[in-house]
Amino acid sequence: MHLREEKAYISYLLISMLLALVLLYAGTMGDVNHSSGKHWEATDTTKIIQDNAEWEDKLKEEASEQPEHH
């Protein structure tokens, strides 16, 4: 049975999409599976928030030290 060009093209497209998904899965699932047993701890999140707040304070201080240009 001879496949028409269009069907062959579609199947190649599907195969390449599946291959891309498999590669994406292989690249990311190792990390996800590795950390799946661990739950996010609130300490990690609060540390990030504190770091961001410190950066924000530093930026505000630097902005207030500079003379305003009107």
Domain ranges of the chain: 1-25
**3-class SS shares of the chain: helix, strand, coil, % to 5:** 80, 0, 20
51: amino acid identity, one letter = D
Q: Which two tokens stand for residue 5?
A: 């060009």
Interval 37-61 mean pLDDT: 78
> C-alpha distances in angstroms, 17 versus 35, 44, 53?
27, 36, 42
Interval 54-65 mean pLDDT: 84
Q: Which two tokens stand for residue 42?
A: 């609130």
Phi-psi region of 14 (alpha: psi -120 to 50; beta: other; left: phi over 0): alpha
Q: Is the pLDDT of residue 46 over 60?
A: yes
The pTM of the whole model exceeds 0.75: no
- The model's pLDDT over 12-38, given as tens digits with 9 standing for 90+, comes to 888 999 999 988 887 777 666 666 555
| Predicted pLDDT at 32 | 65
